[in-house]
Structure 1
Amino acid sequence: MKTLHFVAALGAAVLLPLTVGVPAAHADESFSGTIDGSEPAKIFTEPIVASDQCDPAGDPTLTPVPFDVVEYTSQTTGPRRIVLTGSAEGMSTVEPFAIYAYRNGTCVAADYPTDADTAEVAEVDAGVLDLDNVVFAAGDKVRIEIMSFEVPVAWKVSVLQPGTASSAAPAVGNGSKYTGLSPQIDCAMHASPVTFTKKLAKRVDDVKWVKIKANGATLKKLKGNKLAKVAKKAKKGQPYVVTGIPSATTQLMVQIKFESGKKKTLSRSYSPC
Protein backbone atom coordinates (compact mmCIF):
# COMPACT_ATOMS: atom_id res chain seq x y z
CA MET A 1 0.00 0.00 0.00
CA LYS A 2 1.45 3.34 -0.96
CA THR A 3 0.75 7.03 -0.66
CA LEU A 4 2.05 9.63 -3.09
CA HIS A 5 3.50 12.77 -1.55
CA PHE A 6 4.83 15.57 -3.71
CA VAL A 7 7.49 17.60 -1.93
CA ALA A 8 8.02 21.31 -2.46
CA ALA A 9 11.53 22.16 -3.56
CA LEU A 10 12.10 24.46 -0.59
CA GLY A 11 11.78 21.71 1.99
CA ALA A 12 10.78 18.07 2.27
CA ALA A 13 8.36 17.00 4.94
CA VAL A 14 9.17 13.77 6.78
CA LEU A 15 6.21 11.58 6.02
CA LEU A 16 7.04 8.55 8.13
CA PRO A 17 8.10 8.42 11.80
CA LEU A 18 11.70 7.59 10.95
CA THR A 19 14.69 8.66 12.98
CA VAL A 20 16.83 8.74 9.84
CA GLY A 21 15.75 11.10 7.07
CA VAL A 22 16.99 12.08 3.63
CA PRO A 23 18.24 15.57 2.80
CA ALA A 24 15.42 18.02 2.14
CA ALA A 25 17.40 19.68 -0.63
CA HIS A 26 16.83 18.53 -4.21
CA ALA A 27 13.53 16.80 -3.41
CA ASP A 28 11.64 16.18 -6.64
CA GLU A 29 9.01 13.65 -5.61
CA SER A 30 8.54 11.68 -2.42
CA PHE A 31 6.43 8.57 -1.89
CA SER A 32 5.67 6.47 1.18
CA GLY A 33 3.75 3.36 2.08
CA THR A 34 3.68 0.06 3.93
CA ILE A 35 4.17 -3.57 2.95
CA ASP A 36 2.06 -5.96 5.01
CA GLY A 37 2.08 -9.12 2.89
CA SER A 38 -1.14 -8.38 1.00
CA GLU A 39 0.78 -6.94 -1.97
CA PRO A 40 1.76 -8.83 -5.13
CA ALA A 41 4.89 -10.98 -4.77
CA LYS A 42 7.60 -12.19 -7.14
CA ILE A 43 10.94 -13.97 -7.10
CA PHE A 44 13.77 -11.69 -5.97
CA THR A 45 16.84 -11.81 -8.22
CA GLU A 46 20.06 -10.61 -6.60
CA PRO A 47 21.46 -7.49 -8.33
CA ILE A 48 25.13 -6.64 -8.83
CA VAL A 49 25.47 -4.61 -5.64
CA ALA A 50 28.96 -3.25 -6.34
CA SER A 51 27.59 -1.27 -9.29
CA ASP A 52 23.85 -1.16 -8.43
CA GLN A 53 23.06 -2.98 -11.66
CA CYS A 54 20.10 -5.23 -12.39
CA ASP A 55 21.08 -8.84 -13.02
CA PRO A 56 18.42 -11.18 -14.47
CA ALA A 57 20.90 -14.05 -13.96
CA GLY A 58 21.44 -13.24 -10.27
CA ASP A 59 20.74 -15.71 -7.49
CA PRO A 60 16.95 -16.04 -7.02
CA THR A 61 14.94 -16.55 -3.85
CA LEU A 62 13.09 -19.84 -3.40
CA THR A 63 9.79 -18.12 -2.65
CA PRO A 64 8.17 -14.92 -3.96
CA VAL A 65 8.79 -11.68 -2.06
CA PRO A 66 6.04 -9.03 -1.60
CA PHE A 67 6.67 -5.66 -3.22
CA ASP A 68 5.14 -2.22 -3.61
CA VAL A 69 5.31 -0.03 -6.72
CA VAL A 70 5.70 3.67 -7.46
CA GLU A 71 5.02 4.83 -11.02
CA TYR A 72 5.11 8.30 -12.54
CA THR A 73 6.18 10.20 -15.66
CA SER A 74 9.43 12.13 -15.37
CA GLN A 75 8.95 15.88 -15.82
CA THR A 76 12.66 16.69 -16.17
CA THR A 77 15.89 15.35 -17.68
CA GLY A 78 19.04 14.39 -15.81
CA PRO A 79 20.55 12.10 -13.16
CA ARG A 80 18.66 11.28 -9.97
CA ARG A 81 19.52 9.89 -6.59
CA ILE A 82 16.76 7.55 -5.42
CA VAL A 83 16.80 7.16 -1.64
CA LEU A 84 14.93 4.52 0.34
CA THR A 85 14.45 4.73 4.10
CA GLY A 86 12.25 2.44 6.15
CA SER A 87 11.19 1.07 9.49
CA ALA A 88 10.28 -2.31 10.97
CA GLU A 89 8.88 -2.90 14.45
CA GLY A 90 9.17 0.83 15.12
CA MET A 91 12.89 0.96 14.35
CA SER A 92 14.53 2.75 11.42
CA THR A 93 16.16 0.20 9.13
CA VAL A 94 16.62 -0.75 5.49
CA GLU A 95 17.83 -4.28 6.23
CA PRO A 96 14.62 -6.01 4.99
CA PHE A 97 14.45 -4.09 1.70
CA ALA A 98 15.52 -4.24 -1.92
CA ILE A 99 14.89 -1.50 -4.48
CA TYR A 100 14.66 -1.58 -8.28
CA ALA A 101 14.34 1.32 -10.74
CA TYR A 102 12.89 0.93 -14.24
CA ARG A 103 12.94 3.35 -17.18
CA ASN A 104 10.29 2.73 -19.85
CA GLY A 105 9.97 -0.88 -18.74
CA THR A 106 13.71 -1.66 -18.54
CA CYS A 107 15.45 -2.21 -15.22
CA VAL A 108 18.27 0.35 -14.96
CA ALA A 109 19.39 0.13 -11.31
CA ALA A 110 18.92 -2.07 -8.24
CA ASP A 111 20.33 -2.55 -4.76
CA TYR A 112 19.80 -4.34 -1.47
CA PRO A 113 21.74 -4.42 1.82
CA THR A 114 24.57 -6.94 1.92
CA ASP A 115 27.93 -7.18 3.66
CA ALA A 116 29.46 -7.81 0.24
CA ASP A 117 28.85 -4.17 -0.68
CA THR A 118 31.47 -2.67 1.63
CA ALA A 119 31.20 0.77 0.01
CA GLU A 120 27.64 1.20 1.29
CA VAL A 121 27.90 -0.35 4.75
CA ALA A 122 27.95 3.07 6.43
CA GLU A 123 24.84 4.20 4.53
CA VAL A 124 22.96 1.03 5.41
CA ASP A 125 23.99 1.37 9.06
CA ALA A 126 22.58 4.91 8.91
CA GLY A 127 19.29 3.58 7.58
CA VAL A 128 19.69 4.55 3.92
CA LEU A 129 19.57 2.43 0.76
CA ASP A 130 20.13 4.41 -2.43
CA LEU A 131 20.62 4.31 -6.19
CA ASP A 132 22.97 7.00 -7.51
CA ASN A 133 23.08 8.68 -10.93
CA VAL A 134 19.95 7.06 -12.34
CA VAL A 135 19.25 9.04 -15.51
CA PHE A 136 15.70 9.80 -16.61
CA ALA A 137 14.59 12.08 -19.43
CA ALA A 138 11.46 14.19 -19.51
CA GLY A 139 8.59 11.95 -20.57
CA ASP A 140 10.19 8.70 -19.37
CA LYS A 141 7.88 6.27 -17.59
CA VAL A 142 9.49 5.66 -14.20
CA ARG A 143 8.73 2.59 -12.11
CA ILE A 144 10.29 1.95 -8.69
CA GLU A 145 9.76 -1.38 -6.96
CA ILE A 146 10.27 -1.72 -3.21
CA MET A 147 10.61 -5.32 -1.99
CA SER A 148 10.65 -6.47 1.63
CA PHE A 149 11.80 -9.81 3.03
CA GLU A 150 9.77 -9.29 6.20
CA VAL A 151 6.39 -7.75 7.01
CA PRO A 152 4.99 -5.46 8.16
CA VAL A 153 7.33 -2.61 7.24
CA ALA A 154 6.99 1.08 6.37
CA TRP A 155 8.98 2.70 3.57
CA LYS A 156 9.70 6.08 2.03
CA VAL A 157 11.29 6.77 -1.36
CA SER A 158 12.61 10.21 -2.31
CA VAL A 159 13.66 11.03 -5.87
CA LEU A 160 16.33 13.72 -5.69
CA GLN A 161 17.56 15.99 -8.48
CA PRO A 162 19.37 19.34 -8.25
CA GLY A 163 17.73 22.45 -9.65
CA THR A 164 14.25 20.96 -9.89
CA ALA A 165 10.84 22.42 -9.18
CA SER A 166 8.40 20.10 -7.45
CA SER A 167 5.91 18.71 -9.94
CA ALA A 168 3.21 19.31 -7.32
CA ALA A 169 4.19 22.98 -6.96
CA PRO A 170 3.67 24.52 -10.39
CA ALA A 171 4.33 28.16 -11.12
CA VAL A 172 1.98 30.47 -9.23
CA GLY A 173 0.69 33.95 -9.98
CA ASN A 174 -1.61 35.77 -12.37
CA GLY A 175 0.81 35.90 -15.31
CA SER A 176 0.46 32.40 -16.77
CA LYS A 177 -1.37 33.73 -19.86
CA TYR A 178 1.74 35.74 -20.73
CA THR A 179 4.73 33.73 -19.53
CA GLY A 180 5.88 30.32 -18.29
CA LEU A 181 8.71 28.93 -16.12
CA SER A 182 10.57 25.69 -16.79
CA PRO A 183 10.40 22.78 -14.30
CA GLN A 184 14.21 22.62 -14.26
CA ILE A 185 17.30 24.81 -14.00
CA ASP A 186 20.43 23.91 -15.96
CA CYS A 187 22.78 23.74 -12.98
CA ALA A 188 25.94 23.61 -15.13
CA MET A 189 24.99 26.80 -16.99
CA HIS A 190 23.02 28.43 -14.13
CA ALA A 191 20.34 29.10 -16.72
CA SER A 192 16.70 28.32 -17.42
CA PRO A 193 14.31 28.97 -20.33
CA VAL A 194 11.49 31.44 -19.76
CA THR A 195 8.65 31.22 -22.24
CA PHE A 196 6.57 34.16 -23.40
CA THR A 197 3.21 33.48 -25.00
CA LYS A 198 1.78 34.72 -28.26
CA LYS A 199 -0.68 36.72 -26.18
CA LEU A 200 2.19 38.75 -24.73
CA ALA A 201 3.72 39.09 -28.20
CA LYS A 202 0.46 40.58 -29.48
CA ARG A 203 0.36 43.07 -26.60
CA VAL A 204 4.08 43.88 -26.53
CA ASP A 205 3.42 47.55 -27.41
CA ASP A 206 1.35 47.79 -24.22
CA VAL A 207 4.15 46.37 -22.05
CA LYS A 208 6.40 48.86 -20.25
CA TRP A 209 8.96 46.29 -19.08
CA VAL A 210 9.52 42.68 -18.08
CA LYS A 211 11.75 41.76 -15.13
CA ILE A 212 13.10 38.28 -14.41
CA LYS A 213 14.18 37.90 -10.78
CA ALA A 214 15.92 35.29 -8.64
CA ASN A 215 15.19 35.50 -4.91
CA GLY A 216 14.07 39.10 -5.40
CA ALA A 217 17.18 40.26 -7.28
CA THR A 218 16.70 41.31 -10.91
CA LEU A 219 18.61 39.10 -13.34
CA LYS A 220 17.26 40.74 -16.48
CA LYS A 221 15.08 43.70 -17.40
CA LEU A 222 13.57 43.66 -20.88
CA LYS A 223 12.11 46.77 -22.47
CA GLY A 224 12.05 48.58 -25.79
CA ASN A 225 13.94 46.89 -28.62
CA LYS A 226 15.14 44.01 -26.42
CA LEU A 227 11.59 43.18 -25.44
CA ALA A 228 10.44 43.46 -29.06
CA LYS A 229 13.08 40.89 -30.10
CA VAL A 230 11.95 38.52 -27.34
CA ALA A 231 8.32 38.95 -28.43
CA LYS A 232 9.27 38.19 -32.03
CA LYS A 233 10.90 34.93 -30.93
CA ALA A 234 7.85 34.15 -28.77
CA LYS A 235 5.68 34.20 -31.90
CA LYS A 236 7.89 31.39 -33.22
CA GLY A 237 7.66 29.45 -29.95
CA GLN A 238 11.25 30.22 -28.95
CA PRO A 239 11.96 30.79 -25.22
CA TYR A 240 14.19 33.42 -23.66
CA VAL A 241 17.07 31.88 -21.68
CA VAL A 242 17.88 33.71 -18.47
CA THR A 243 21.36 33.22 -16.98
CA GLY A 244 23.03 34.05 -13.69
CA ILE A 245 20.72 31.90 -11.55
CA PRO A 246 22.34 31.21 -8.15
CA SER A 247 23.22 27.72 -6.94
CA ALA A 248 21.22 28.03 -3.74
CA THR A 249 17.52 27.32 -3.35
CA THR A 250 15.93 29.73 -5.77
CA GLN A 251 12.61 31.36 -6.49
CA LEU A 252 12.39 32.61 -10.05
CA MET A 253 9.84 35.32 -10.76
CA VAL A 254 8.71 37.03 -13.95
CA GLN A 255 7.11 40.46 -13.53
CA ILE A 256 5.31 42.12 -16.43
CA LYS A 257 4.33 45.78 -16.10
CA PHE A 258 1.92 47.26 -18.61
CA GLU A 259 1.77 50.91 -19.63
CA SER A 260 -1.52 51.09 -17.76
CA GLY A 261 0.34 50.36 -14.52
CA LYS A 262 -1.10 46.87 -14.09
CA LYS A 263 1.31 44.05 -13.24
CA LYS A 264 1.28 40.34 -13.94
CA THR A 265 3.61 37.97 -12.08
CA LEU A 266 4.56 34.32 -12.17
CA SER A 267 6.95 32.56 -9.78
CA ARG A 268 8.33 29.08 -9.18
CA SER A 269 10.69 27.60 -6.58
CA TYR A 270 13.62 25.27 -7.28
CA SER A 271 15.87 23.06 -5.19
CA PRO A 272 19.55 24.08 -4.96
CA CYS A 273 22.14 23.08 -7.52
Structure 2
Amino acid sequence: MRSRTLAVAGAAALTPLALAVPAAHADQHFTGASSASDTASALPEIDGAGDRCLPPSGSGLRNLHDTVSFVSQSNGPRRFVTRDIGGGHDLVTIWVYRNGTCVAADFLPDNASENAAGIVDVDNVVFAVGDRVTVKVGAQSSWASWRVDVLQPGTADAAASGKAKRYVTLPYQVSCGTHRAVAKATKNARTVKSVVFKAGGTKVGAAHGLRPRQKIRLKGIPAAATSIKAVVRLKGGGKATVVRPYSHC
Protein backbone atom coordinates (compact mmCIF):
# COMPACT_ATOMS: atom_id res chain seq x y z
CA MET A 1 0.00 0.00 0.00
CA ARG A 2 1.42 3.36 -0.99
CA SER A 3 1.52 6.29 1.38
CA ARG A 4 1.30 9.53 -0.55
CA THR A 5 -0.28 12.95 -0.26
CA LEU A 6 -0.48 15.86 -2.62
CA ALA A 7 -1.49 19.51 -2.72
CA VAL A 8 -0.97 20.63 -6.33
CA ALA A 9 -0.81 24.05 -7.91
CA GLY A 10 -1.44 22.77 -11.44
CA ALA A 11 -4.01 24.12 -13.83
CA ALA A 12 -6.69 22.95 -16.23
CA ALA A 13 -9.48 24.44 -18.32
CA LEU A 14 -12.29 22.07 -19.14
CA THR A 15 -14.13 22.09 -22.44
CA PRO A 16 -16.77 19.41 -21.88
CA LEU A 17 -18.36 17.43 -24.63
CA ALA A 18 -21.57 17.65 -22.59
CA LEU A 19 -22.37 19.47 -19.37
CA ALA A 20 -25.18 17.18 -18.30
CA VAL A 21 -25.61 13.42 -18.47
CA PRO A 22 -28.62 12.58 -20.67
CA ALA A 23 -30.88 9.92 -19.17
CA ALA A 24 -30.31 7.57 -22.10
CA HIS A 25 -26.52 7.53 -21.89
CA ALA A 26 -24.42 6.15 -19.04
CA ASP A 27 -20.79 6.77 -19.94
CA GLN A 28 -19.82 10.39 -20.50
CA HIS A 29 -16.61 11.89 -21.86
CA PHE A 30 -15.19 15.37 -21.35
CA THR A 31 -12.15 16.97 -22.96
CA GLY A 32 -10.18 20.00 -21.86
CA ALA A 33 -7.13 22.17 -22.34
CA SER A 34 -5.40 23.92 -19.45
CA SER A 35 -5.30 27.69 -19.17
CA ALA A 36 -3.75 30.31 -16.91
CA SER A 37 -7.20 31.86 -16.49
CA ASP A 38 -8.64 28.83 -14.68
CA THR A 39 -10.42 29.05 -11.34
CA ALA A 40 -8.09 29.06 -8.31
CA SER A 41 -9.30 27.77 -4.94
CA ALA A 42 -8.11 25.76 -1.94
CA LEU A 43 -8.93 22.16 -2.85
CA PRO A 44 -8.53 19.14 -0.55
CA GLU A 45 -5.14 17.48 -0.34
CA ILE A 46 -5.02 13.86 -1.47
CA ASP A 47 -4.16 10.61 0.29
CA GLY A 48 -3.36 8.57 -2.78
CA ALA A 49 -3.09 5.29 -0.86
CA GLY A 50 -6.86 5.25 -0.44
CA ASP A 51 -7.89 7.84 -3.04
CA ARG A 52 -9.18 9.93 -0.12
CA CYS A 53 -9.77 13.65 0.15
CA LEU A 54 -7.90 15.30 3.03
CA PRO A 55 -8.50 18.74 4.54
CA PRO A 56 -6.45 21.57 2.96
CA SER A 57 -3.13 22.03 4.76
CA GLY A 58 -3.76 25.69 5.55
CA SER A 59 -0.60 26.65 3.66
CA GLY A 60 -2.53 29.11 1.54
CA LEU A 61 -1.79 27.14 -1.64
CA ARG A 62 -4.56 27.59 -4.19
CA ASN A 63 -5.08 25.09 -6.99
CA LEU A 64 -5.93 26.10 -10.55
CA HIS A 65 -8.71 23.89 -11.87
CA ASP A 66 -11.99 23.72 -13.75
CA THR A 67 -15.24 21.98 -12.97
CA VAL A 68 -17.86 19.77 -14.58
CA SER A 69 -21.18 19.21 -12.81
CA PHE A 70 -24.17 17.00 -13.56
CA VAL A 71 -27.00 15.20 -11.77
CA SER A 72 -26.77 11.41 -11.39
CA GLN A 73 -29.42 9.58 -13.42
CA SER A 74 -28.78 6.16 -11.86
CA ASN A 75 -27.81 4.34 -8.67
CA GLY A 76 -24.48 2.62 -8.28
CA PRO A 77 -20.72 2.99 -8.69
CA ARG A 78 -18.79 5.18 -11.12
CA ARG A 79 -15.22 5.08 -12.32
CA PHE A 80 -13.59 8.42 -13.17
CA VAL A 81 -10.57 8.19 -15.51
CA THR A 82 -8.28 11.07 -16.50
CA ARG A 83 -5.50 11.12 -19.08
CA ASP A 84 -3.36 13.53 -21.09
CA ILE A 85 -4.47 13.47 -24.74
CA GLY A 86 -2.05 16.15 -25.93
CA GLY A 87 0.98 13.89 -26.16
CA GLY A 88 2.79 15.63 -23.32
CA HIS A 89 2.56 12.66 -20.91
CA ASP A 90 1.37 14.94 -18.12
CA LEU A 91 -0.69 13.51 -15.24
CA VAL A 92 -4.12 14.93 -14.47
CA THR A 93 -5.27 15.27 -10.86
CA ILE A 94 -8.94 14.57 -10.12
CA TRP A 95 -11.28 15.44 -7.26
CA VAL A 96 -14.82 13.96 -7.18
CA TYR A 97 -17.63 15.51 -5.11
CA ARG A 98 -21.04 14.15 -4.11
CA ASN A 99 -23.58 16.83 -3.15
CA GLY A 100 -20.79 19.30 -2.41
CA THR A 101 -18.55 16.95 -0.37
CA CYS A 102 -15.26 15.63 -1.75
CA VAL A 103 -15.53 11.81 -1.68
CA ALA A 104 -12.56 10.65 -3.80
CA ALA A 105 -9.39 12.02 -5.37
CA ASP A 106 -6.10 10.84 -6.88
CA PHE A 107 -2.97 12.15 -8.56
CA LEU A 108 -0.85 9.09 -9.51
CA PRO A 109 -1.44 5.87 -11.50
CA ASP A 110 -2.31 2.83 -9.37
CA ASN A 111 -0.20 0.25 -11.24
CA ALA A 112 2.29 -0.26 -14.05
CA SER A 113 -0.34 -0.55 -16.79
CA GLU A 114 -2.04 2.69 -15.75
CA ASN A 115 1.35 4.37 -15.55
CA ALA A 116 2.17 3.25 -19.09
CA ALA A 117 -1.17 4.64 -20.30
CA GLY A 118 -0.82 7.88 -18.32
CA ILE A 119 -4.08 7.18 -16.47
CA VAL A 120 -5.10 8.59 -13.09
CA ASP A 121 -8.43 7.26 -11.84
CA VAL A 122 -10.76 6.67 -8.90
CA ASP A 123 -13.01 3.60 -8.77
CA ASN A 124 -16.28 2.56 -7.12
CA VAL A 125 -17.53 6.01 -6.19
CA VAL A 126 -21.20 5.35 -5.41
CA PHE A 127 -23.98 7.77 -6.36
CA ALA A 128 -27.76 7.65 -6.13
CA VAL A 129 -30.34 9.07 -8.52
CA GLY A 130 -30.54 12.82 -7.98
CA ASP A 131 -27.08 13.23 -6.43
CA ARG A 132 -25.13 16.27 -7.64
CA VAL A 133 -21.84 15.06 -9.12
CA THR A 134 -18.93 17.50 -9.43
CA VAL A 135 -15.56 16.70 -10.98
CA LYS A 136 -12.61 19.07 -10.55
CA VAL A 137 -9.49 18.49 -12.61
CA GLY A 138 -6.03 20.02 -12.86
CA ALA A 139 -2.82 19.34 -14.79
CA GLN A 140 0.03 18.73 -12.35
CA SER A 141 3.11 20.17 -14.02
CA SER A 142 2.38 21.82 -17.35
CA TRP A 143 -0.41 23.00 -19.61
CA ALA A 144 -2.09 19.90 -20.95
CA SER A 145 -4.92 18.75 -23.17
CA TRP A 146 -6.76 15.96 -21.47
CA ARG A 147 -9.85 13.83 -21.17
CA VAL A 148 -12.10 12.74 -18.31
CA ASP A 149 -14.24 9.60 -18.74
CA VAL A 150 -17.12 8.99 -16.34
CA LEU A 151 -17.96 5.28 -16.54
CA GLN A 152 -21.14 3.79 -15.05
CA PRO A 153 -21.07 -0.03 -14.91
CA GLY A 154 -24.39 -1.73 -15.56
CA THR A 155 -26.14 1.35 -16.94
CA ALA A 156 -27.62 1.80 -20.40
CA ASP A 157 -25.35 3.50 -22.94
CA ALA A 158 -28.13 4.40 -25.37
CA ALA A 159 -31.86 4.25 -25.87
CA ALA A 160 -33.46 0.95 -26.85
CA SER A 161 -33.97 0.22 -30.54
CA GLY A 162 -36.28 -2.16 -32.37
CA LYS A 163 -39.99 -2.60 -33.08
CA ALA A 164 -40.62 -4.51 -29.83
CA LYS A 165 -40.04 -1.35 -27.76
CA ARG A 166 -43.73 -0.75 -28.55
CA TYR A 167 -44.46 -3.67 -26.20
CA VAL A 168 -41.58 -3.86 -23.71
CA THR A 169 -39.45 -1.23 -21.96
CA LEU A 170 -35.94 -2.47 -21.23
CA PRO A 171 -34.34 -1.35 -17.93
CA TYR A 172 -32.17 1.73 -17.61
CA GLN A 173 -29.86 -0.05 -15.18
CA VAL A 174 -28.64 -3.53 -14.18
CA SER A 175 -27.60 -4.12 -10.58
CA CYS A 176 -23.94 -5.14 -10.69
CA GLY A 177 -24.30 -6.50 -7.15
CA THR A 178 -27.26 -8.83 -7.72
CA HIS A 179 -27.04 -9.16 -11.55
CA ARG A 180 -30.74 -8.39 -11.74
CA ALA A 181 -32.93 -5.80 -13.45
CA VAL A 182 -36.60 -5.09 -14.11
CA ALA A 183 -38.24 -4.72 -17.52
CA LYS A 184 -41.76 -3.38 -17.93
CA ALA A 185 -44.64 -4.07 -20.31
CA THR A 186 -46.11 -1.08 -22.13
CA LYS A 187 -49.77 -0.21 -22.59
CA ASN A 188 -49.75 -2.25 -25.82
CA ALA A 189 -48.79 -5.49 -24.05
CA ARG A 190 -52.21 -7.17 -24.41
CA THR A 191 -51.26 -8.30 -27.93
CA VAL A 192 -48.14 -10.13 -26.68
CA LYS A 193 -48.23 -13.93 -26.52
CA SER A 194 -44.77 -14.36 -24.97
CA VAL A 195 -41.46 -12.57 -24.47
CA VAL A 196 -37.94 -13.89 -23.86
CA PHE A 197 -35.05 -11.78 -22.58
CA LYS A 198 -31.37 -12.48 -23.26
CA ALA A 199 -28.23 -10.71 -22.02
CA GLY A 200 -24.93 -11.50 -23.67
CA GLY A 201 -26.60 -14.54 -25.27
CA THR A 202 -27.85 -15.91 -21.91
CA LYS A 203 -31.56 -16.26 -21.17
CA VAL A 204 -32.32 -14.02 -18.17
CA GLY A 205 -36.13 -13.86 -18.15
CA ALA A 206 -39.40 -14.79 -19.86
CA ALA A 207 -43.14 -14.25 -19.58
CA HIS A 208 -46.31 -15.61 -21.23
CA GLY A 209 -49.16 -13.21 -21.73
CA LEU A 210 -48.50 -9.68 -20.52
CA ARG A 211 -50.63 -7.09 -18.78
CA PRO A 212 -50.06 -3.40 -19.46
CA ARG A 213 -47.33 -2.03 -17.18
CA GLN A 214 -46.54 -5.50 -15.82
CA LYS A 215 -43.02 -5.81 -14.39
CA ILE A 216 -40.80 -8.65 -15.59
CA ARG A 217 -37.87 -9.47 -13.32
CA LEU A 218 -34.61 -10.39 -15.03
CA LYS A 219 -31.94 -12.32 -13.14
CA GLY A 220 -28.60 -14.00 -13.75
CA ILE A 221 -27.42 -11.20 -16.06
CA PRO A 222 -23.75 -11.93 -16.88
CA ALA A 223 -21.27 -9.34 -15.63
CA ALA A 224 -19.68 -9.20 -19.09
CA ALA A 225 -22.99 -8.61 -20.92
CA THR A 226 -23.08 -5.41 -22.97
CA SER A 227 -26.68 -5.66 -24.18
CA ILE A 228 -30.15 -6.92 -23.27
CA LYS A 229 -32.45 -8.19 -25.99
CA ALA A 230 -36.17 -8.98 -25.84
CA VAL A 231 -37.88 -11.20 -28.44
CA VAL A 232 -41.65 -10.69 -28.46
CA ARG A 233 -44.10 -13.13 -30.07
CA LEU A 234 -47.50 -11.68 -30.87
CA LYS A 235 -50.90 -13.34 -30.46
CA GLY A 236 -51.81 -12.69 -34.06
CA GLY A 237 -48.55 -14.20 -35.30
CA GLY A 238 -45.18 -12.69 -36.03
CA LYS A 239 -42.47 -11.45 -33.69
CA ALA A 240 -40.44 -8.34 -32.92
CA THR A 241 -37.23 -7.57 -31.07
CA VAL A 242 -35.80 -4.71 -29.02
CA VAL A 243 -32.17 -4.29 -27.93
CA ARG A 244 -30.44 -1.90 -25.55
CA PRO A 245 -26.65 -1.56 -25.00
CA TYR A 246 -25.12 -1.37 -21.52
CA SER A 247 -21.78 -0.74 -19.87
CA HIS A 248 -20.74 -4.14 -18.57
CA CYS A 249 -20.36 -4.76 -14.84
TM bucket (normalised to shorter chain) is: 0.7 to 0.9
Shift of 1:82: 1.4
Percent same amino acid at aligned positions?
A: 38
Q: Secondary structure at the match of 1:130?
A: strand
Contact 2:154–2:247 under 8 Å retained in 1: yes
State the Cα deviation string for residues 212-257 of structure 1 (Å, max 9, x = none): 223455444422xxx35xx27x3xxx62111232222332122333
- Residue of structure 1 in register with 2:128 after alignment: 137
Contact 1:175–1:265 under 8 Å retained in 2: yes
What TM-score do you get using the length of structure 2 for normalisation? Answer: 0.78
Q: CA RMSD in A?
A: 2.9
CA distance, structure 1, for counterparts of residue 139 and residue 89 of structure 2: 14
Contact 1:43–1:60 under 8 Å retained in 2: no
CA distance, structure 1, for counterparts of residue 56 and residue 36 of structure 2: 26
Q: Secondary structure at the match of 1:171?
A: coil
Aligned residues: 230
1:247 aligns with 2:235: no
Higher mean C-alpha displacement, 132-141 vs 263-272:
263-272
Alignment map for 1:18-57 (pairs within 5 Å): 28-57=27-56
Structure 1: gaps spanning 5 or more residues: 8-26, 114-118
Structure 2: gaps spanning 5 or more residues: 1-13
CA distance, structure 1, for counterparts of residue 57 and residue 237 of structure 2: 67
Q: Secondary structure at the match of 1:101?
A: strand
Alignment map for 1:1-273 (pairs within 5 Å): 1-4=14-17, 28-58=27-57, 60=59, 62=61, 64-87=62-85, 90-94=87-91, 97-113=92-108, 120=110, 122=112, 125-126=115-116, 127-166=118-157, 169-197=158-186, 199-201=187-189, 204=190, 206-216=191-201, 218-223=203-208, 227-228=209-210, 231=211, 234=213, 239-273=215-249
Shift of 1:73: 1.9
CA distance, structure 1, for counterparts of residue 81 and residue 143 of structure 2: 20
What TM-score do you get using the length of structure 1 for normalisation? Answer: 0.72
